[in-house]
Each structure stands twice: as C-alpha cells, then as structure tokens.
Amino acid sequence: METIIKPENIVYGKPRLINNNPMHYCPGCSHGVVHNLVASVIDEMGLAEKTIGIAPVGCAVFAYKYLDIDWIEAAHGRAPAVATAVKRLNPDKMVFTYQGDGDLAAIGTGETIHACNRGENIVIVYVNNAIYGMTGGQMSPTTLVDMKTATCPYGRNVALNGYPLKITELLVPLEGTCLVAREAVHNVAAIKKAKKMLRKAFENAMAGKGTSIIEFVATCSAGWKMSAGQANNWMVENLFPAYPLGVLKDRV
C-alpha cells in the first residue's frame, strides 16, 4: 500500500488554486465541487495570473476565500455589471462571475440579461439550487411549484408567486450569448462533462466570442432539509425535469 502513495501516482488531488481555508459550505454542498472545477479550469488553462473573479451575495459570497486569484465581491445581483467593466477595461484578462439563483435570477435579472445581450466576453457560472441558502432557505425565483421553503411553507403557489423562472432559457435567444449550457455535479460522469463545458466557456471568453453561461443545477441539503446523498437524488427526480441538463446553445 505505502508504495502506491507517491507523487507520480496521484490521479486526483485538491486543485492547486484551492487554498487550505475550510469552506463554510454545508456538508455535501454542490458549491464546493463547482469551486473545484473553476479552480481546475483556470489552472489548467494557465490563467491563474490573469483571472479576476466576481463573487456574488448569497452562499458563494465567500468564494474569494477559497480560490487563490484576485476577486471583487459585488453587491447583490450586480456581478455581471462589475464583470462588464473589469473585462472592458482589461480585455486581455479572464473575467467570470459566480452567482446563485437569487443573485442572478431575482435581484440581478437586469444585469444578467444586459451583460449577456451586450455579449460581454465573460463567463457566468450560475449555481441554481432553487432556494436562498445563505439567508436560511427562502423561496427563490427558481423554486419549484409546490416546493416548500421558509417563505412558502405550504409550497410555492403559482397564484401568489408565479412560476419557476427558467432564466437560462431566456438567455438563449440573445445575440450576445455564444454558449448556454446546463450541467450538474451529482456524480463523476456529470462532473467530468461539466468541467469540459466550463473549459469551453473560459476559452470563449478569452477568444472574445461573447458571453458564456453555464448553469449548474445544484443541491441545498440544508435548505431542502435532507442529507447530501438524498439531496442529489431529490435533485435528479425533481429539479432535472424542470431544468433539463444539456447544451441549450452553442454558437461557437
């Protein structure tokens, strides 16, 4: 056994850009895996010294604590506007936003749509777990019909709250988007596929091909009140039908 533990035998390890700060996320949270993917893609593309990340308000507000790159923490929902200026003022840099469904699809809807419509050469990493995690599990724009949250304790009621917002679909017809895809990180195959898509998005941004948005359908085991494993199963059974995985648009 000891003979196996040699540096040349490593087939997986903590991505180099992920530092040693313990992540504040709940056990099993999808954010950690998405962070690892973003860190790996930046490192593998050799962009560590050129990347500026824009952090959201929400569970990923502390993303800047875990990835050793330069970061700007945006006001709630405004990350695409912040990223717009950073990229336009530094066209040779890699600029991405990292946002949740509350940040991107509720308070920041305007900034999301307009950044995409202008075709900003940025990547939007969109983590959709259909709930507000950081504030304690309230309804988000993507909360499913009849799904229970702290602010719809009897389930999302269409008459009261409207329908789950498929914002990613709304971004497809915009001329400025070049890649719109929906991924997940619930198993190894999905993670490997998602990483390829993420890399393509980063390549698009560096090549000036327009806005790429990668949605990650994700879990919130604390907000959904179940274990991490159960949350993955619940996501597959309930979120995937509403938010089907796949490439929605690839103009490249």
Which of residues 204 and 221 has its CB atom nearest to other proteins in the complex? 221
Q: Classify 43 as helix, strand or coil.
A: helix
Contact 50, 93 (CB under 8 A): yes
DSSP string covering 154-170, please? T-B-HHHH-----HHHH
- CA pair distance 18, 66, nearest whole angstrom: 6
CB 242 within 8 A of CB 147: no
Q: 97 or 140, CB closer to other proteins?
A: 97
CB of 56 to other proteins, least distance (A): 11
Q: Smallest distance, Å, CB 135 to other proteins?
A: 14
Cβ burial of 216 (10 Å; 0-12, 13-18, 19+) is buried
What b/e readout covers 91-127, taking b as 16+ CB neighbours within 10 angstroms? eebbbbbbbbbbbbbbbbbebbbebbebbbbbbbbbb
Closest contact distance (angstroms) between CB of 160 and other proteins is 27
CB of 127 to other proteins, least distance (A): 12
Q: How far apart are CA 33 and CA 39, in angstroms?
A: 10
- Residues forming the site for other proteins (CB under 8 A): 1, 3-6, 8-15, 18, 22-23, 25-33, 35-36, 48-52, 54-55, 61-62, 64, 68-75, 78, 81-86, 88-91, 93, 110-111, 114, 185, 187-188, 191-192, 221, 227-229, 232
Closer residue to other proteins, CB minimum distance, 81 or 131: 81
Rounded to a whole number of angstroms, the minimum distance from the CB of residue 14 to other proteins is: 4
User: Pick from 185, 186, 77: which is nearest to 141 by CA?
Assistant: 77
Helix H or strand E encompassing 179: strand 177-184
